[in-house]
Chain A
């Protein structure tokens, strides 16, 4: 059974850093594209970052470029999102999502999300 469990969210002050983790089971994260998608309270979905199956290519939303870094650990079967220089507008529920295949396409499974609140 495919499972994705996000962790690492919390309350953080503007300008600080946070690292989100996504522990996967039921499949190998190295065999699929993986993504982070966020949803501000009461708003729509916003793609944040993605990485294809062999980590050969990564992509970032304009809002994340230069501040966020996506990575994965095959040994731990996990996906990560390092978030630096956090801003109030980064406040959102962050979802980890499994790609349907090796490259950027659709996502066929989502975790339940971890909440990030950026506030002083």
Chain B
């Protein structure tokens, strides 16, 4: 199976930039999607296909993907950005894989 590796937790100072990595073998060849999940809520898609933002997602959220690492970048971090973030790829035409998730704390 295809394994996606994320750090368990990260912290960022208020107003600074958080970069959350998602690592896997040659992940740059796949479309990577990112979800934000706040406590007690369902996940929300924040980035699809590496760097695209759904409508309603602030421009502060951006994504990149190259080589063995995809990255979700959150600029000018706000208290409301505190959440779990999950990366996801299609392992095949009929299978998905999620990363283990990163808990982001805004200090």
Q: Is the CB of B98 within 8 A of A106?
A: no
**CB-contacts of A10-58 with B (<8 A):** 35, 37, 44-47, 50, 52, 57-58
**Per-residue 0/1 for B66-103: is the Cβ within 8 Å of any A Cβ (1 yes, 0 no)?**
00000000000000000010101010111111111100
Which residues of the partner chain B approach A110 to less than 8 Å between Cβ atoms? 42-44
Q: Is the CB of A45 within 8 A of B101?
A: yes
Contact-residue size bin, chain A (C-beta under 8 Å from the other chain):
20 to 34
Q: Is the CB of A106 within 8 A of B33?
A: yes
Which residues of the partner chain B approach A46 to less than 8 Å between Cβ atoms? 98
Q: Is the CB of B95 within 8 A of A61?
A: yes
A58–B99 CA distance with the chains assembled, in angstroms: 21
Which residues of the partner chain A approach B33 to less than 8 Å between Cβ atoms? 105-107
Which residues of the partner chain B approach A44 to less than 8 Å between Cβ atoms? 84, 86, 98-101
Which residues of the partner chain A approach B95 to less than 8 Å between Cβ atoms? 47, 50, 59, 61, 104
Q: Is the CB of B43 within 8 A of A45?
A: yes
Minimum Cβ distance to chain A for residue B73 (Å): 18
Q: Is the CB of A59 within 8 A of B42?
A: no
Which residues of the partner chain A approach B101 to less than 8 Å between Cβ atoms? 44-45
Minimum Cβ distance to chain B for residue A49 (Å): 9
Which residues of the partner chain B approach A57 to less than 8 Å between Cβ atoms? 93-94
Is B17 close to A, CB under 8 A?
Answer: no
Assuming the contacts A62-B1, A112-B42, asked whether A103 and B93 have C-beta atoms less than 8 A apart, the reply is: yes
Minimum Cβ distance to chain A for residue B86 (Å): 5
Q: Is the CB of A106 within 8 A of B88?
A: yes
CB-nearest residue of chain A to B102:
A44
Is B19 close to A, CB under 8 A?
Answer: no
Minimum Cβ distance to chain B for residue A56 (Å): 10
Is A80 close to B, CB under 8 A?
Answer: no
Q: Is the CB of A105 within 8 A of B31?
A: yes
Ordered nearest first, which 5 A-B pairs have the shortest CB separation?
A59-B94, A106-B33, A47-B96, A110-B42, A44-B101
